[in-house]
Structure 1
Amino acid sequence: MSARIVVVEDEEALGILLRYNLEAEGYVVDVIDRGDEADIRLKEEVPDLLILDWMLPGLSGVELCRRLRQREETERLPILMLTARGEESERVRGLSVGADDYVVKPFSTPELIARVRAMLRRSKPEKISSQLVAGDIDLDRETHRVRRAGRELKLGPTEFKLMEFFMQSPGRVFSREQLLDGVWGRDIYVDERTVDVHVGRLRKAINRGRERDPIRTVRGAGYALDEQFSAARSPAAPARARLSAGA
């Protein structure tokens, strides 16, 4: 799984705990410890799910949730409210400002993970499905195998992540910076030219002979998985359900 989750939590130990357990599930996780900083960051990039503490410095979780629901780009963002407040009236208040679910501290980590998985299953099914299909390419997240027209492709770990990232959003153009964040992560520094190198390796691994190159270079912008390639289906490829960005 490579869904991106933002955790807004000012308790450092809890932030570390949440990051560790969510990353163990395969999610890409960012932890922010202030509500006002989270407000700025969420204007720049919208994650797949937000875990939001009730009480935060700078801007409360309740107010941040209210603001997010007023913006078009975040009005449907799945939000899980996390708080020590357990009274029924406070739960109702959290849900009334737009939270989708509510977990009271102290909480069971397996239960929180199950709630996150359920929310993503409803809002981003393509991010948790074990199978991704684009054209005649099939990617299996569980076995880490990729096949094209029935033949198995030999991809390195980074090339696999790149292919998975592209297949989740066919047609969407990603800048080199976005690919660095989505595939390598914000905590690892690599040069943007590294993206070009690995895209080149990916192309070499997936294309043979006169096969159509599914990776499209957009001059001055970045790279994308060609949506026309994604929509096509080779008769020789295994018959599996096709996933697209809006699946």
Structure 2
Amino acid sequence: MKNIKLTIEYDGKRYLGWQRLGDSDKTIQGKIEATLSKMTGEELEIVGSGRTDSGTHARGQVANFKTMSTMTPEKMMNYLNNTLPRDIVVTKVEEVPERFHARYNAAGKQYSYYVWNKETPSAIERNFSYHCSQSLDIKKMQAACDKLVGEHDFIGFSSLKKNKKSTVRTLNSITIDKKGDLIQFKFIGEGFLYNMVRIMMGTILAIGSGEMELEVIDEVFDKKVRQTAGETVPAHGLFLDEVYYK
């Protein structure tokens, strides 16, 4: 039996997120599984590196599945990209060791969030960035990013209701890159909680616009209360760029 690793790019606008849903075929996982089952004649289940929310995009989602198929990775890739919807593309197919697991073996991830910072919205960028018309102070936002970096309990920056597992995570870096009216915020970390990037972004933008003070980050870490942080910004500005493996 082969263990096959997929690297996947997708535009999440039309989909209800990554995870398969029993009452809908509008998920990334569901579309890929249906295509793989048709390709191999087997009932296959793929394991993703993690879930992405409805509307979130990916440049480097990773998944794996096991199959008895004798098709080469090249033929699998050609079949998938000729059969899947055009907003889902498999950029790499490779055979990996039997013990490889896309989720459990992931050592870190990189996400990007894009903000269109101009009074008028963009017709071109509207599906791939969040429109913020307020003036933003880059220095204040970078100071907020610097406070978030490191090992912290991020439960206050998450939509998790109850969780028995640890909510301590390590953020390796957050960088800001402004090109014209488009601002890219890049998050690299060992792991992320549910809605963590989107809530951190809402807080960073609130600090950058003057709606919140920098000290609110310390308050969120101390109180561990979601309501203390900024809003959850929309999913369509979020991209899963890359998943890191040892």
Q: Same fold (TM over 0.5)?
A: no
Normalising by the residue count of structure 2, what TM-score does the alignment of the two structures yield? 0.27
Q: Larger relative contact order (C-alpha < 8 A, sep ≥ 6)?
A: 2
Larger % of strand: which?
Answer: 2
Normalising by the residue count of structure 1, what TM-score does the alignment of the two structures yield? 0.27
